[in-house]
Structure 1
Amino acid sequence: MNSLSRVFGLRNASPVASGLYWSGIWLAIGAIVLSVMLMGSSLSEHNMLPWVFGVHGCASLAGGFVSAKRSGRRGWYFGMANGLLYTLLLLMISFLATDANWTSTVPILLLITCLTGAFGGMLGVNAGTSSR
């Protein structure tokens, strides 16, 4: 992995940006799993909202974990910042792509992603290696 970053000259210096990348990866994995569940079972699109919140929560948890582990300090802060930015990016993309409206699910999604991101940040900062 180090050789690739040296060849291309790419290194992500920001812990929050790194967490957002990992949130996007976990969101893609969750979307594929939900698509397979929707196709292969009797689950209807009307009953998908708790599953969608779960996928976004897991993505924010993973992103908060990575961002706090990379920063090595202030896990709650970096995790919650990751959850907040993740939700804002998600809302901006959904508005631009499908002209989505502001509904009552938006504050619930914001609460879920901020709390799970903060929890992931708490786990990530404690999982990181630091010389204390």
Structure 2
Amino acid sequence: MSMSPFTRVLKVRVASPVLSGLIWSCIWLGAGALLLSMMLAGSSLRETELDPWVFGIHGFAAMAGGFVSARRSGRRGWYFGAANGALYTLLIVLSSFLATDIDWSMKVAVMFGLTVLTGAFGGMFGVNTGSSTGGKR
């Protein structure tokens, strides 16, 4: 059975488990940002009340990315999940600094700890859902 050229072009496989986890973290971050925007527009929620929601979305995004990276690696789930969470936070802080010149505060440290822990947690679940061949499919 041959695949059409169009189908072959759309099949992109990311080789690095951590990079694929970061991509999925960014996808979930985008979905969370969209949800928060709709909540701000459609309710009496104010921007000053968003901190718990923002931390929850970052934690969930890191957990989803840790799940994907550990599933792809097939081993050391907590390690790949925590690495995904740490790199995710570094990318978020770097882009926030470049975009809005944020200050270093305790919120950055809390977010780093949260994303590393939730990424490791997601990684522990993700490593057990992958194939037994160590992520090679």
Q: Return the TM-score normalized by structure 2.
A: 0.90
Q: Verify: 1:32 aligned to 2:34, yes or no.
A: yes
Deviations 1:39-72 (A, max 9, x none): 1111111110000000000000000000000000
8 Å CA contact 1:5–1:11 kept in 2: the answer is no
* 1:9–1:27 Cα change, 3 Å: closer
* 1:35–1:8 Cα change, 3 Å: closer
How many residues of Structure 1 are paired with residues of Structure 2 in the alignment? 131
* Matching of residues 85-100 of structure 1 within 5 Å: 85-100=87-102
Deviations 1:52-103 (A, max 9, x none): 0000000000000000000000000000000000000000000001111101
User: By how many angstroms is 1:13 displaced?
Assistant: 0.6
The corresponding residue for 1:105 is: 107
Equivalent of 1:72 in 74, 81, 86 = 74
8 Å CA contact 2:66–2:122 kept in 1: the answer is yes
Structure 2 residue matching 1:126: 3-state secondary structure: coil
Runs of 4+ aligned residues of structure 1 deviating over 6 Å after TM superposition are 2-5
Partners of 2:87 and 2:41 lie apart in 1 by 31
Partners of 1:61 and 1:23 lie apart in 2 by 8
Percent of matched pairs sharing the same residue: 63
Q: Return the TM-score normalized by structure 1.
A: 0.93
Q: Please give the root-mean-square deviation of Cα atoms over the aligned residues, in Å.
A: 1.9
The corresponding residue for 1:7 is: 9
Structure 1: unaligned runs, 5 residues or longer: none
Equivalent of 2:48 in 46, 49, 56 = 46
Of 64-73 and 10-19, deviating more is 10-19
Rg (Cα) greater in structure: 2
User: By how many angstroms is 1:7 displaced?
Assistant: 2.5
Structure 2: unaligned runs, 5 residues or longer: none
